[in-house]
Structure 1
Amino acid sequence: MGPTAARKTELAVQLVERLPCEIVSVDSAMIYRGMDIGTAKPGPEVLARAPHRLVDIAEPSEAYSAARFREDALREMAAIVAAGRIPLLVGGTRLYFHALQHGLSVLPQADAAVRARLDEEARALGWEALHRRLAEVDPVTAAQVHPNDPQRIQRALEVWVLAGQPMSALLAAGEARVVLPYRLVKLVRAPRERAVLHARIATRFEAMLAAGFEDEVRGLLERGDLTPELPAMRCVGYRQMLKYLDGDYNYEEMVQRGIAATRQLARRQLTWLRAESSCEWIFDEADPLATALTMIERGRRNAAPAG
């Protein structure tokens, strides 16, 4: 696990070359086909060294859920174990890791009328106002959702309206009912200094632009079936590029906002990871691979069976 731009993939590939592991991606953006540059998806040369499961499994026009991820991930993990190997889950999507480890409680199904009402209120008041409302009824969820994330704000408020309970409470109630049938060794790859991560994020975003990120998004728009409201198009970087292509941002503003949004994502990921239990942190030591191998061996000896 780790924040974006933490060099998780680099370490994971090294582990695959040393251990009988296969990678299962835990990334809510890499699932989409055709979204390669802006998601920092591993290139063909990396995938040749270490194939990734659950990459390129959905169209950007689809709404891929955490529940579907859990089902897909458990299936792939079972296949890896059946082949005598070990699943190595790699990514930074908190909701997916949480769904896999703890399951998902039964939340109310989406309600078109409630969503339409919330959309209307958002147009009149703004999503930041709805985020403040969410903080009043469900402060736990509000603390995990950015005020500029309309999809998650809407869903959390929708759950509150339909269930009469905070989404965080419903999720917590469901955790005790799920036992993951695996022993877990949780490794977190992250720079020790926040400034280092910020510099990597800026460098990577500039590299994405140089690699043709703008052309990638233009090509996606030419499909004709993608709108800014789709989860895929709300991914960090894509949202800012769409604003630029629509004329809402100039080029420099798009770059700065894209970098800033990525930094905000990294900050939220680090907040989650610091609260996650039983994690081993791998900072930028001289040899992260050796550190990881030591941690894995210690975890293998000490981890008790799940349940």
Structure 2
Amino acid sequence: MMVSHPRSILVITGPTGIGKTDLAMRLADDSPLRIISADSVMVYRHLDIGSAKPSASELERYPHDLIDLVEPEYPFDVGQYLLHAKRSIQHAWQRNEVPCLVGGTILYLKSLLDGLDPLPKADPEIRKRIREKAEQQGWPAIHDWLKGLDPGAAEIIHPNHSSRLERALEVRIKTGESIRSFWTEGPSEFMIGDQRADLDVLALIPADREKLKERLNRRFDSMLDRGFVDEVQSLRTR
């Protein structure tokens, strides 16, 4: 039976380096929040410095769900994220905590709010053809290829957005249909299982973009000092 009264979910999103995680941890000092990561890189183990994960001491004080889920060599898609995220949200409600989704991976957040479109499964052979051509001629050439087959999709996908180009072209080649024909409108109500939910969204916007750039530069320098290059080299040898 559906519960009539909605439960709360807090979403904190915004550009890289603006302070989403810091804000969530400050809020958790005063409120019963359960922090749930919405970051497509933090799901991977061993990508600690480059993904700007919270420190071990911060994670001990402010536990985060959906961090360090899989090894880097294994794929992790949005469908898997939704399964984990919905489970974490329900567990938070059971503990009388407010789920707090924190991150800037818009695909994760949009798919959670609007649901996944019924797209066809990936085709490894088609993707191989696309990637081989991209390696030889560049992604703008893939955009031209898509424009010849699906001009409507090409118009709304940037020539440098490789993942979206690949998916749109793959769908067109595999089905003969535009990827836009598979896109659906989101539900009128946001549901987690049989529970209606109310969302409060905090979208952090930089008051001064130059200061944000300076902050990102300082953060990158700090990553280098902490061993980012060694982390990358270690991952490449796995």
Task: Check whether TM > 0.5.
Answer: yes
2:172 is aligned with 1:157: no
The alpha-carbon deviation at position 182 of structure 1 amounts to: 1.2
Q: Which amino acid aligns with 2:28?
A: V
Aligned pair partner of 2:138 in 117, 126, 140: 126
Counterpart of 2:236? 221
Higher-RCO chain (CA-CA 8 Å, sequence separation at least 6): 2
Identify the structure with the greater strand proportion.
2
- SS of residue matched to 1:5: coil
Q: Do the aligned residues in 2 keep the contact of 1:134 with 1:142 (CA within 8 Å)?
A: no
Could you tell me how far 1:131 is from its partner in structure 2? 2.7
- What is the aligned counterpart of 1:28 among 36, 40, 54? 40
Question: 1-side partners of 2:53 and 2:146: how far apart?
Answer: 33
From the superposition, tell whether residues 101 and 151 of structure 1 become closer, same or farther in structure 2 (CA, over 3 Å). same
User: Given that residues 24 and 73 in structure 1 are in contact (C-alpha distance below 8 angstroms), is that contact kept between their aligned partners in structure 2?
Assistant: yes
- CA–CA separation in structure 2 for the residues paired with 1:12 and 1:64: 25
- Alignment of 1:207 with 2:226, yes or no, is no
State the partner residue of 2:205.
190
TM-score (norm. length: structure 1)? 0.67
Consecutive unaligned residues in structure 1, runs of 5 or more: 224-307
Aligned length: 219
Alpha-carbon distance between aligned partners in 1 of 2:22 and 2:119, rounded to the nearest angstrom: 36
Shift of 1:62: 1.1
| Contact residue 23 and residue 90 of structure 1 kept, 8 A | yes
Spell out, residue by residue over 1:5-43, the C-alpha distance to the aligned partner (whole angstroms, 9 max, x if none).
Answer: 001111000111111111000000000000000000100
Structure 2 residue aligned with 1:179? 190
Aligned to 1:61: 73
Q: Determine the structure 2 residue equivalent to 1:70.
A: 82
Going from structure 1 to structure 2, the CA distance change for 1:141 and 1:65 (only over 3 Å counts) comes to farther
Contact kept? 1:141, 1:168, Cα under 8 Å: no
Length-normalised TM-score, structure 2:
0.85
Deviates more, 1:115-124 or 1:209-218: 115-124
Q: Which structure's residues are more often helix, by fraction? A: 1
**1:276 matched to which residue of 2?**
none
Whether the 8 Å CA contact 1:141–1:167 is kept in 2: the answer is no
User: In structure 1, how many angstroms separate the alpha carbons of the residues matched to 2:235 and 2:120?
Assistant: 32
Structure 2: runs of 5 or more not aligned: 1-12
Mapped to 2, the partners of 1:130 and 1:178 lie a distance apart of 37
The residue identity in structure 1 corresponding to 2:234 is G
What RMSD in Å do the two structures reach over aligned CA positions?
A: 1.9
Q: CA deviation at 1:118?
A: 1.4
**Using the alignment, how far apart are the partners of 1:197 and 1:168 within structure 2?**
35
1:105 partnered with 2:117: yes
1:2 aligns with 2:14: yes
